[in-house]
Amino acid sequence: MDRRSFIRKAGATGVGAAAAAATLAAPAIAQSNPKVTWRLASSFPKSLSDTIFGGALTLSKYVSEVTDGNFQIQVFAAGEIVPALQVADAVTAGTIEAAHTVCYYFWGKDPTWALGSAVPFSLNARGINAWHYQGGGIDLFNEFLGTQGIVGFPSGNTGVQMGGWFRKEINTVADLQGLKFRVGGFAGKVLERLGVVPQQLAGGDIYPALEKGTIDAAEFVGPFDDEKLGFVKVAPFYYYPGWWEGGPTVHSLFNKAKFEELPKQYQSVLKVACQAADANMLSAYDWLNTAALKRLVAAGAQLRPFSPEIMSASFDAANQTYAEIEAGNATFKKTWESIKAFRKDYYLNMQVAEYNYDTFMMVQQRGGKL
């Protein structure tokens, strides 16, 4: 056989082998990447697509792209298919496969729900992420979520939030007596000890309640989101910090049975996409909040810190509340003790390099040197 004939025949054989391999591989690939379509209900309005609602959009986008469009998650805003505060129940029931929410909305069923997101005087955003990803927090919280037929992963964080919009100034604990305050989740239980009458409303219902005077004050998130909802027009006093949300984790919740039915690679894709959404949301808030705060002040917002009296009384009330719950709820106690142990060391470490660097830079900013 001459050289040219050999090459022609070898080439034909190679092409045939490649075609056969492709024929064999295609069904295997199709089987390993099946078509899956899920529905996800958010607890947030579409108007916040740049930030907190956008976390679900980020999750959906990455899952679709990584799976070549085979795994689709359809995202619905609060109220489109499920009311904002009922999304976890819908996931448990299997009515929907997924939700994007903050778990303290459901603390009334069991206060352990709140520990996965934020509770008063817990960790900031970096701290809670360290606990989730490095301190076993994800697994510990999923032990609890599993009893609800759910598996969940962090999918966003706002950073420390503002303390809310008030129709009148609040200077002392006495000023809190009878105050009708829209405040999410677990914080309301603590504030009740100080005379506050907590109100739990979905984001889209806050503005009309403030405008009509149905409530006296409301907290939501922070400058960028609050600006979009227009609170400055009806309640000018803007307090800080939101000590009940030092670093609230936004979760993606999945029906446990549906999650476990997925191929392993789809489960991994979901986990990675959740972590990407987590990082993306926090960076978005860091980028957007400063300019929004400047605009709010220009529009009439009057910035006010909570007084030391109010902060100290709130801290004491929180600890009293925790002690009562721990005495009767072993799951809460186990999870809260894990967070507290890390919190103690975390804020020791933060006093060294982080605090001193940030404080120095803040002084430079105030001096007009940046």
Q: What's the pLDDT tens digit per position in 35-66?
A: 999 999 999 989 899 999 999 999 999 999 99
Say if residue 13's pLDDT is above 70: no
pLDDT of residue 29: 47
pLDDT in the model for residue 62: 98
Q: pLDDT value at position 31? A: 58
CA separation, residue 170 to residues 185, 213, 234, 268, 301 (Å): 21, 17, 16, 48, 15
Q: Does residue 9 have a pLDDT over 60? A: no
The continuous run of DSSP H or E covering 121 comes out as none
pLDDT above 50 for 299: yes
- How much is the average pLDDT of 225-243? 95
pLDDT of residue 229: 87
The residues, ordered by sequence, that sit 6+ positions from 27 with a Cβ below 8 Å of its Cβ are none
Least confident of 123-127, 156-160, 202-206: 202-206
**What is the pTM assigned to this prediction?**
0.89
Tokens linked to 102: 């903050």
Q: What is the pLDDT of residue 15?
A: 44
Buried b (16+ CB within 10 A) or exposed e, 145-173: beebbbbbbbbbbbbbbbbbbbbeebeeb
pLDDT at res. 254: 99
pLDDT at residue 73 greater than cutoff 80: yes
**pLDDT at 148 (0 to 100):** 98
pLDDT band at residue 79 under the 50/70/90 scheme: very high
Q: What's the chain's average pLDDT?
A: 92
pLDDT in tens, 326-340: 999 999 999 999 999
Residue 278 has pLDDT above 60, yes or no: yes
Q: Is the pLDDT reported for residue 22 higher than 80?
A: no
